[in-house]
Every structure is written in C-alpha cells, then in structure tokens.
Amino acid sequence: MAAFLFLISGSDFMMKERAARLRGLWKRHFILARCISFLFVFFGVTFLTFAVTSLAPSDGAEMYYLSRGITPSPELLAETRAEMGLDQPLLVQYGHWLWNVLHGNLGTSYNFEESVLSQLTRKLPYTLALAGAAFLLTAAVSLPLGAVAAVKRNKLTDFLIRAVSFVGVSVPNFWLALLLLYFLAVQLRLFPVIGTGDLRSMALPVLTLVIPLSCSYVRQIRTAFLEEMGKEYVTALRARGISEREIFFSHLLPGALTPVLTLAGMSVGSLLGGAAIVETIFGWPGIGSMVVDAIRVRDYPVIQGYVLWMAAIYLLAGLVTDLFCRMLDPRQRRKALWRKLAHRPEDVPAGRRKRFCRFMIPARSPEGRR
C-alpha cells in the first residue's frame, strides 16, 4: 500500500513538473504559441462562414444570374453549379476555396464582375485613412481627460468629464451621425453631405467615430489610473522620495495603459474592418459600405473575403496588443532586467542600473542621512 501511494505521489509530482515545464515553454515561445492559435481560429472562422453561406436559400450559381437580371432555367443552374463546383460536398468546396485563398484568389464578385481582392485593395486606403485618423484623435483626447479625471477624483472636473463621457457612450452611432449630418452639413453647410474621399468629407465620419470611442476610453483610463494609484507600490515610491512626475510616467502610465490596450486592440480591429453604419450614412467609399452593398445583393464571395479580412485583422490586433502589454508590464520588464543583471550586467547601461537599484533598494531614512 505504501509503495502504491509512493508511486501515485511520484506520478503526481512528475505531472505537475511536466505541466510547469509546458507553461514555461509556452511563455518563452509566446509568439509561436499565438501563431498556432491564430491558425486554429482562422480556419474555424473561415469554415463557419463558408458553411453558413452554403445554407442560404440562393447559392452562388443562382445569384450569379440574378445579379445580371437573368432568370436561369434548372438545366442552366445545374450546369453552372457543376462548373463552379457547387455540386460537390461542403468540405471539398471549402478545400478548393481555401486553396484559392492561399494563392491570392478570393473569388469574383457577382455584382461587380471584379475580383474580390482588387475590390478590397481599392477600398482599403479609404478605410485606413478613416480608422487611423479616428484612432489617433481618440488617443489624443481620451488619455489626458482620463488622467485628469483620475487625478481630480470626486472634484468638479471629474464630475464634468464623467457626465460628458456617460452621455457620449449612451448615444448610438447612427443617431449621432444623423445629428452631425443635419446640423453641420445641411444647416451650417460646413462639410459635404456625401463623402468623396477627400479630407473635408472625412471630418464628419471621423467625428462620429471619435466621440463614442473617446467617451468609452476616458472611463476606462480613469478606472485604470485609480486602480494603479491605490496600490501599495505608489506609496512606497513616494516614501523613497521619487518625484510625482517620475512616478506618473515611469510607473502609473505603463500600469494603467496595460488593460486599456486590450480595448484599443478591439477598437482598431473594428475600425479597420470598416464602420459599416457610419460609412454607409456618409457615403464613405470604404470596406464597411462595400460589405453592406454585398449583403444587400447576397454577393457571397465579397462577404467571405470581408470575413477573411476581419478575422486576420482581429487576430493580428490581438497579437500586437498582447506584445505591447508584455512590453509595458513592469513585472515582465523587471524580470528581464534581473536576468540581464545576473548573467550579463555589462549589457545593461549604467544609467539604467543606477535607476533600477534606486527603485529596488530601500532608501535610507532621514535620520540615517543626517
């Protein structure tokens, strides 16, 4: 019995040790692990999209003729389905589609008679311009306001910022777009009603995207700063004589931005995917308005190409966000610096060694300095 218990405990210890090694291997090869998960999610999303579109009442062969105003006969539909490979099993169709995708062929649009890839590349610069301007303006507005609201907690400034952010988050995008369009474009005639792709017509779509995003970010940044300001290490840094400016920029800011970066990565993914409602209302020639038109006429190749683009954007945004979070996390940076100081201290600059030792080694008391 004792030998049996010894064997069980030994196997349990070996399993725990193996699990610890796997966790360490996963952490060391973080990028490789994320790439593997990227492939699993990518294939899962594309297969589900392909399977859902195959369940639609009208298949690709029928929509090919209906988009041209032709009512096909059953014989013509059967012949076209055989040419398109739609008479084969679903897995075989998905395999052919995936093979074409890997070779840069996303299919041909039924409505425009143009390759999906050329459509995406033509619409992409407009979406990139809109998303980049909206994200940069959101960061420039929300970061200072969130930090000020946290520093001025429970004061008039904090109450005003929170009230405005609450109203901005509550307003739907389409209603805000219609209000801006009516007052700034129709009544005041400051901006064009329909987007033409220039900077002047980009102002209203960018403003429509920035207002709710900034209000949401302000609340998140304020909460993150308040959590960091209430931790014990901030009190310890102040007790060691570290200036408030250095505490804010070297410790509070990286720690507070870590949870906000996850939300930012999701926002970047949605912006790069094209804000469909905003682009449609303002007539902005981006990817969002393209996919709305494709859904309206059931242009399946364009829809599948859009889902492929969205999956890639969200997965890449998640990977980049995780990498930035690990870079900004003080614990990760401190572990890396400890390893360098222990094994290769000559690789660490003298100024960084001095600053690290100043933060990590307790300062002498005023009585000791005297």
Q: Over the chain, what is the mean pLDDT?
A: 77
Query: Considering only CA atoms, which of 298, 347, 363 is closest in space to residue 58?
Result: 298
**pLDDT greater at residue 12 or residue 70:** 70
Residue 86 has pLDDT above 70, yes or no: yes
CATH code for position 179: 1.10.3720.10
Q: Which range is least confidently modeled, 97-106, 165-174, 310-319, 320-329?
A: 320-329
Domain count, the chain: 1
**pLDDT greater at residue 22 or residue 217:** 217
Q: What is the residue range of 259's domain?
A: 116-299
Query: pLDDT tens digits, residue range 256-285?
Result: 777 777 777 777 777 776 578 888 888 888
Structure tokens at 192: 């064009």
134 within domain boundaries? yes
328 within domain boundaries? no
102 within domain boundaries? no
**Is the distance from CB of 169 to CB of 163 less than 8 angstroms?**
no
The pLDDT score that the predictor gives to residue 164 is 92
The mean pLDDT of 203-209, rounded to a whole number, is 90
Q: Is 295 exposed, middle or buried (0-12, 13-18, 19+ CB in 10 A)?
A: middle
38 within domain boundaries? no
Residue 295 has pLDDT above 60, yes or no: yes
The pLDDT score that the predictor gives to residue 319 is 78
The pLDDT score that the predictor gives to residue 161 is 92
105 within domain boundaries? no
**Is the distance from CB of 9 to CB of 286 less than 8 angstroms?**
no
Q: What is the pTM of this model?
A: 0.72
82 within domain boundaries? no
- Amino acid at the residue 302: V
